């Protein structure tokens, strides 16, 4: 299946909304001085992830919209046998992650500053990622905004191209109708097989609470998880 999204969808939809947020002096310094060492700079060609990780033949996991980076940094620090890529557009989050990568001397984690739609469509070859992680994607709770949700059927088709056969997609949300939407989209596509949550890979077990999960708990919303595997169509 071609990876291109419909033109009208691509033009109307972004994977993010840049909200106002304070960037600390430490984050600004990281954005200025640490990008060269710890980010993958995008050019005209597809990303060469093997070169970015200096030829390391490890599994490659992408954390999309990692926010403050709690879970991403937890995984990278504890599972150095896996390479991780954090995809984000939010400067404070990127700055915080860069500082932690530097302080903890993490060689198995790189950051990409990009909209995930543009990145996957133009810069990532097919069957690149062993897993892709989506923790608390923007729920767009208003009915008139539901079409803006990231994990749509169209986007799952794009993910299908970029994940290896047998690869995983993991998502976590505190909005019940979003969970149902993704579950139904997966069930209607014979290329995805829903997995039992007892079969989570080690790097997804015991993830730390993110600030979004803490907010959900305070506001009385239950967090729910889905994991599904790519199978041949």
Is residue 12 situated within a structural domain? no
Is residue 7 situated within a structural domain? no
Is residue 65 situated within a structural domain? yes
Residue range 35-39: mean pLDDT, rounded: 96
Who contacts 39 (Cβ-Cβ below 8 Å, separation ≥6)? 94, 98, 110, 111, 112, 113
Is residue 16 situated within a structural domain? no
Residue range 211-219: mean pLDDT, rounded: 91
Is residue 15 situated within a structural domain? no
Is residue 13 situated within a structural domain? no
Q: What is the number of structural domains in the chain?
A: 1
For residue 72, how many other CB atoms are within 10 A of its CB? Answer: 30
Q: Does position 145 have pLDDT exceeding 80, yes or no?
A: no
Whole-prediction pTM: 0.89
Domain with 146 in it: what CATH number?
A: 3.40.50.150
pLDDT-derived band at 18 (thresholds 50, 70, 90) equals low
pLDDT for res 2? 34
Lowest mean pLDDT among 9-13, 22-26, 198-202: 9-13
Is residue 6 situated within a structural domain? no
Q: Does position 1 have pLDDT exceeding 60, yes or no?
A: no
**What are the catalytic residues?**
138
Question: Which residues constitute the domain of residue 130?
Answer: 25-230
Is residue 19 situated within a structural domain? no
Measure the CA–CA gap between 168 and 194, rounded to whole angstroms: 10
How many whole angstroms from its chain centre is CA 77? 17
């Amino acid at each position: 299946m071609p990876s291109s999204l419909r033109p009208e969808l691509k033009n109307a939809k972004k994977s993010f909304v840049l909200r106002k947020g304070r960037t600390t002096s430490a984050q600004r310094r990281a954005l200025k001085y640490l990008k060269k060492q710890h980010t993958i700079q995008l050019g005209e060609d597809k990303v060469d992830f093997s070169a970015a990780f200096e030829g390391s033949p490890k599994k490659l996991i992408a954390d999309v919209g990692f926010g403050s980076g709690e879970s991403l940094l937890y995984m990278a620090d504890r599972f150095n046998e896996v390479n991780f890529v954090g995809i984000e557009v939010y400067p404070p989050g990127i700055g915080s992650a860069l500082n932690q990568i530097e302080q903890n001397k993490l060689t198995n984690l790189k950051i990409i500053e990009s909209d995930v739609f543009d990145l996957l469509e133009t810069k990532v070859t097919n069957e690149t990622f062993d897993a892709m992680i989506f923790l608390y994607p923007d729920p767009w709770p208003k009915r008139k905004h539901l079409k803006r949700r990231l994990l749509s059927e169209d986007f799952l088709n794009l993910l299908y191209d970029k994940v290896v056969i047998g690869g995983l997609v993991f998502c976590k949300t505190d909005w019940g109708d979003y969970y149902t939407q993704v579950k139904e989209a997966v069930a209607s596509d014979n290329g995805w097989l829903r997995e039992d949550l007892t079969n989570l890979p080690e790097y997804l077990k015991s993830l730390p609470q993110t600030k979004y999960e803490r907010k959900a708990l305070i506001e009385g919303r239950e967090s729910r998880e889905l994991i599904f595997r790519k199978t041949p169509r």
